[in-house]
Chain A
C-alpha cells in the first residue's frame, strides 16, 4: 500500500472541514505524526501556542496526544491566526479526578481554513473537562471546532463542558461546530453549546455615539468576544500576549 493511501480525506468525519488542497499535497509523515505528553499524577502541564504562519505557509497540522494521570491537570490555550490551513488536534485521556482545560481561538480572513479538533476521553470517574472555543472570521475563511467527548461506562461523576461561539464579520465567512458526545455512564454532566452570530449593531452604534471609530469598536467587541477563551489562563502576561496576537490578525480585516 502506498503512503498516500493512509492520508485522510474529507470523507473522514474528523477531516470534513479540512482544506482539500492541503490534504492533496501533504506529506503523510507530516499529517500522521502525533506528539505525546504525559502529565504525571497530581501535576499540571500547560501549553500556550499562537499558530501564526504567514500567508506563504501551505498549511500545518499539529496533533498532540496527552495522558493525564490521577488528579493531574492539562491546560491548552491555542490561537490560530495564520496559514492557508491550520489544524490543531488534541487527544486527551483523563485518569480519575484529572482535568482538561482548553481555550481556543481561530481568527482569520481571506480563504483561510482553521480548525480545532479535540477528543476527550473520560475513561475514569470524577474527571472534569472544560473547553471554550471562539471563532472570528471574515472574507471567505472558515473556523471549525470538532469536539468529541467519550465517557466510559464506569466513568461516573464525569463533568464535561464544551462551549463554541462563532462571530462572522461579513457574509462569505463561515463557522462550524460539531459537538459529538458518546456517553456510557449514567451519572454524568455533559454540557455543550454552540452559537454563530454577527457583531452587535446596537453596541457598535452605542460605541460610535461615544466617539469610537468603527475599527476601534470592532476591536473592542472582538477582544471581549475572544476573551472568554482565556478566562482560565492564570498567567496574565501570556494571556495579554495571546490576546494581542489575535487582535493583530484582526487588523487585516478592513470592514
Chain B
C-alpha cells in the first residue's frame, strides 16, 4: 500500500535519507525504530510534504499514486495521516471547526458530500469517547494549553475522525504516562487495525509495541533501513540496544 523506493532527502542541504527502501502492505503495522538522528522524523515529514524537506532522488507510491506528485493537503485527502511528534498549536481556531473543515475538505477532494454540523459532532463525540477525551476539550483551541499527553491523545482523536487509510505516527508515545499510553495504543488498534489499512509506527520504545503489536519491525540507521524482521527484532533492540545490533550487522 506504501512503497518507498531508494529515497534520498535532505534538509538545509544536509543529506538525511540516503537510499531508503521500505514496503508496507495493507493490513500491516510496521514499526520503525532507530537511534537518534537516524532520519525517522525526516522520513515522516518527507512523506507528509513539509516545506524545507527536499527529495533529491527516489519515489514513493501510495495507493497507486505517486506521492510526490501530490500537495500535502492532497496526500491527506488520498488517505495519508501524519501523527505529529510535536502537534502544533493554532490559537483562535477550535478543534471542532478545524476538524470539520479538514474532514469536509478531504471529502470534497474525494467527491463526497460534506458532513452537516450535527453529523460531524456525533462522529467527533464517538471518536473522543474512544480516546477517553472530554468533548469540552474539542471545543477548545487546537492544542492550545494542552499538556504533552493531551496533545498526543488529541492527535489520535483527529485520526479517528479523519479515518485515514494509512497512518504515519511519529513518536506518538513520547510524553505519555503509562495509562495514557495504553489508551492511545488501544485507540490506534481500533482505528487502524483493518485489512485495508496500514500503519508506519515510529517509536523508540517497546512499551507502545506491547499494545500495538507490529507485524514487521525495521531498523533505520544513518538514512537507510538496515534490518527488517518480525516483532522479536524490537524485543532484541530493547534488551541489547542499537549499538550491539548494528555492530553485529556490520561485522
Contacts and interface: CB of A to CB of B under 8 A. Distances in A.
B71 interface: yes
A185 B44 CA distance: 58
Contacts of A220: 90, 93, 97-98, 101
Interface in A194-223: 200-203, 205-214, 216-217, 220-221, 223
A91 interface: no
Interface stretch (A22-30, A120-128, A135-143, A224-232): A224-232
- SS class of chain A's interface: helix, strand, loop or mixed? helix
A208 B88 CA distance: 12
A224 B93 contact: yes
A106 to B, nearest CB: 18
Contact of B102 (A201, A207, A228): A207
- SS class of chain B's interface: helix, strand, loop or mixed? helix
Interface string B32-67: 000000000000000011110000000000000000
Given A201-B51, A220-B97, A209 B92 contact: no
A206 B72 CA distance: 9
A123 B51 CA distance: 53
B3 to A, nearest CB: 21
Contacts of A214: 71, 73
Given A209-B82, A210-B158, A216-B101, A224 B90 contact: yes
Contacts of B106: 211
B242 interface: no
Contacts of A210: 76, 98-99, 102, 158, 162
B76 A213 contact: no
A212 B73 contact: yes
Contacts of B90: 200, 203, 206-207, 220-221, 224
B184 interface: no
Contacts of B91: 224
A199 to B, nearest CB: 11
Interface in B181-199: none
Contacts of B102: 207, 210-212
Given A211-B162, A228-B92, A206 B73 contact: no
Contacts of B84: 206, 209
Nearest to B84: A206
Nearest to A224: B92
Most chain A CB atoms below 10 A, which of B77, B97, B102: B102
Given A216-B101, A220-B101, A208 B92 contact: no
B88 A202 contact: yes
A131 B72 CA distance: 38
A197 to B, nearest CB: 12
B9 to A, nearest CB: 16
Given A203-B88, A216-B101, A216-B105, A209 B76 contact: yes
Nearest to B91: A224
B93 to A, nearest CB: 5
Contacts of A201: 51
B87 interface: yes
B73 A213 contact: yes
B138 interface: no
B234 interface: no
Contact of B109 (A207, A209, A211): A211
B103 interface: yes
Contacts of A209: 48-49, 72-73, 75-76, 81-82, 84
Pick the 8 closest A-B CB pairs, nearest first: A224-B92, A208-B72, A211-B76, A211-B106, A206-B88, A210-B102, A208-B73, A211-B102
27 contacts: A200-B88, A201-B51, A205-B48, A205-B50, A205-B88, A207-B98, A207-B102, A208-B72, A208-B73, A209-B49, A209-B72, A209-B73, A210-B162, A211-B76, A211-B77, A211-B103, A211-B105, A213-B71, A216-B101, A216-B105, A217-B73, A220-B101, A223-B93, A224-B90, A224-B91, A224-B92, A224-B93
Interface of A: 200-203, 205-214, 216-217, 220-221, 223-225, 227-228
Given A211-B102, A211-B103, A223-B92, 15 more contacts: A203-B90, A207-B98, A208-B71, A209-B48, A209-B72, A209-B81, A210-B102, A210-B158, A211-B73, A212-B73, A212-B101, A212-B105, A213-B73, A220-B93, A221-B90
